[in-house]
Amino acid sequence: MKPDFRTPAGNPISNFCFGTMQWGGKADAFDSRAMFDASREAGINFFDTAHGYTDGKSETLLGEFAATDRDNLFIATKCASTGDCSPEAITKDVDESLTRLNMDRVDMLYMHRWSDDVPLEATYEALAKMVDAGRVGHIGVSNYAAWQVMKAARVAASLDLEVEMLQPMYSLVKRQAEVEILPMCASENIAVVPYSPLGGGLLTGKYNTGAEGRLTHDQMYKARYGQSWMHASANALSDVANEVGISAITLAVAWVAHNPDITAPILSASKSSQLKPSLDAIDYQMDDATYARLTALAPTPPPATDRSEEI
C-alpha cells in the first residue's frame, strides 16, 4: 500500500513534485512564477522548498505564488540545511520558513541533513512539538542512509511520531537508493520523493556536445557526476531518445517515475523554457520493455549483502 498524503482541501498529492531550489537564484521572480503556473497547469499540487535555498528567496516566492490557492497545495520545506539539528536551530528555521512562506503550517517538514552531534531524542522531541502544535503536518528526512532512517523512525515512534517521507538522490546514473533505501521504504510504508532525476543535468544530453554548465563549473557536481561510465550512459540515453523521438529529459524523468517504489519524482529547472520536457513525463506512459532497456544503460548496484551471485 502506497502512503496517502493529501492537501489541506483533502485532494491526493500529485505523482510528481516541483522543486523550487532555483527560485530567487538562477530563476528570477518572473521565471519562477512561469514555472509555478506551468506546474499547476500540468496538475502538480506538490511543491518542495527548503530553509537553506537561495537565502530564503525560494520560500518567499513559493509563499507568494501559493497564497491564493493554499488549501489545494501540499507544501514541503526542510530545516537543518547547515547540519545543525539542535532543537533551538530547527525551531528557528521553521519560524523563519513559516514567516517567509506566510503560512501558519507546512504540510511536510524534512530534516535536511543527518547529525551525529545532536541526540536524535532532542531533535525529534522538537519536531513532535511542532506537529502537536499544528505547525507541521508530517515529518520526513532527506539525504539519510537507510540505517539512519530506521534509527530516526525508532526514536520518532517513541514520541508517537512517524517518519513518513524520504527524499533521496535517484536517477539513471545514481542508483544507490535501490540497494537499501527503496526496499526499506516499501517495507515500512515510507513515501519516496527523489531529487535530481536528471543527474544534475547530465541526462539532459547537453554535455554530450561539449556544452558547459554546473557539471563543468561546480566542483561538487563535477565530482558527483564525473565518472566516465555516467557520461557513457548519458550518451546512450540520448541515442535511445533520438531513436524513439522523445526528449532524453522526458525519458530520464519517466524512468524514475516508472519504479513502483517511487511516490513523486521532483522536477525542476533553472529557466521556465527548460521545463516542458520534464512536465511531458507526467503523461508519458513508459512500457516495461523501454524501462528495462534504459535500466540496462547503467550498472545495477550490488545488493546490500554484496552476494551478487544471488541476484
34 part of a folded domain: yes
Strand pairing class (266-267; 46-48): unpaired
Residue pair 302/180 in contact (Cβ under 8 Å)? The answer is no
CATH at 43: 3.20.20.100
136 part of a folded domain: yes
Closest CA to 268 of 23, 41, 6, 25: 23
262 part of a folded domain: no
Number of CB atoms found within 10 A of residue 294's CB: 21
Show the cell assigned to 190: 515510507
- pLDDT, residue 205, reads 86
- pLDDT, residue 311, reads 66
- pLDDT, residue 206, reads 81
Q: Tell me how far apart the terminal alpha carbons of the chain are, to the nearest angstrom.
A: 25
- pLDDT, residue 3, reads 80
How big is the chain, counted in residues? 311
Long-range contacts of 175-180 (CB under 8 A, 24+ apart): 175/298, 175/299, 175/300, 175/301, 176/301, 178/300, 178/301, 179/301, 179/302, 179/303, 179/304, 180/145, 180/146, 180/147, 180/304
What is this structure's pTM?
0.96
- pLDDT, residue 226, reads 86
- Domain extent, residue 19, equals 1-167
Radius of gyration of the CA atoms of the chain, in A: 19
Report DSSP letters for 166-201, one per residue: EE-B-BTTB-GGGTTHHHHHHHHT-EE--B-TTGGG
- pLDDT, residue 140, reads 98
Q: Is 272 exposed, middle or buried (0-12, 13-18, 19+ CB in 10 A)?
A: middle
- pLDDT, residue 1, reads 59
Residue pair 140/167 in contact (Cβ under 8 Å)? The answer is yes
Residue pair 163/132 in contact (Cβ under 8 Å)? The answer is no
305 part of a folded domain: no
pLDDT in tens, the chain (311 residues): 578 999 999 999 999 999 999 999 999 999 999 999 999 999 999 999 999 999 999 999 999 999 999 999 999 999 999 999 999 999 999 999 999 999 999 999 999 999 999 999 999 999 999 999 999 999 999 999 999 999 999 999 999 999 999 999 999 999 999 999 999 999 999 999 999 999 999 999 887 777 767 777 778 888 888 899 999 999 999 999 999 999 999 999 999 999 999 999 999 999 999 999 999 999 999 999 999 999 999 999 999 988 877 76
179 part of a folded domain: no
Calculate the alpha carbon distances from 212 to 28, 198, 215, 249 in Å: 21, 16, 7, 17
Phi, psi of 191 (to 5 degrees): -70, 145
86 part of a folded domain: yes
Show the cell assigned to 160: 508517537
Quote the CA–CA distance of 142 and 62 in Å, as a whole number.
20
Domain count for the chain, please give it. 1
Show the cell assigned to 243: 531513436
Residue pair 26/270 in contact (Cβ under 8 Å)? The answer is yes
Closest CA to 152 of 107, 184, 194, 106: 184
200 part of a folded domain: no
102 part of a folded domain: yes
